Structure 1
Amino acid sequence: MSSIILTVPKDAFMLLITMISAACFWNGIMKVMETAGIVDSLSRLLTPLFNLIMPKLKDKQALRYISMNIAANIFGLGYGATPSGIKAVKRMKELNNDKAEATDEMVTFLILNTAEVTIIPTTVMAIRANLGSKNPADIILFPMIATLTASIIGLIIDYLFRKTKKNANLV
């Protein structure tokens, strides 16, 4: 019992250090990507997708924040994606005439952000490394498949709800 009391705080602290280190590293990478213009390039690259799933959203600043959020999520940085996600929603709210109700684009962004397509699950890899895994990246394929599937299903359901809402408004 006494060994647990001593080892659990140490293990928790080491996990915390690992997670903070990973967050700092990837947030630094995100800042470099932003400064180098990669985020703007990513935003332009994602424009056809944005036009398809968020057709009414044309604001470049909101799209830039969404691009940063998606880039952070791709690297498995949910905590790194949060600031740009909040900025994206604030910007979309500024553009919204009805401040009390979320727009379709806000809902779609929430779905994308929640499903969080992840190619490199850095958080899970950091936890696995901290727990002594010899190959912490072995699991990369499974989160990628799961998050991609969740995103696609979420977007399909979002589309169906929008279509139903649109048809209900016509009647």
Structure 2
Amino acid sequence: MARYGDPGAVEWVESGGGPLIAVPAVALSSWSGADGAGLETDYDRACGVDAYGGLVTVGQSLALVLGDEPASTSFLPEHGVFFRWCAAESEAELLAGIDAALAEAVWEPEQRWDVPGAVVLFDAAWPGGELEPENHLRVELELGRYGVRGTYVEPDPQTSFILVQLRRLV
């Protein structure tokens, strides 16, 4: 899978045109993606998320859908954010705006996400049990409750990105 900035400072995951999803590793086999015999597939449920980040049930867990647009996405653990590339001339230019964006962000309302540990980020159309090494990103998260909130940032007319922040709650 082609990735922006490859081999850049961070690893990027892309979708084929729909949302990305971060599924708890323990629930991967419960995500059927666009496959399914019912009227509504897991992928359909992911496409129904109308926010920068929204939660859907996967097995006994919740997964985080990264909605809005199929932007290339990475996770920046030092900031606790899924970082979504909307527009920029280079990866370096994009990453240069993160600190200012976090300081000045106007966030969507926060949701609560109980995370059982590591999550795997991939195209929501894929079944979780059929991932390949080049089409996903494993994100190591500590077990616990997180606040999830999103924002769109446009530091200049040529640069824009979406942040979906995970804040560990006590």
Q: Shorter-chain TM-score: what band?
A: under 0.3
Q: Which has the higher strand share?
A: 2
Q: Looking at CA atoms only, which structure, 1 or 2, has the larger radius of gyration?
A: 1
TM-score norm. by structure 1 comes to 0.25
TM-score norm. by structure 2 comes to 0.25
Q: Which has the higher helix share?
A: 1
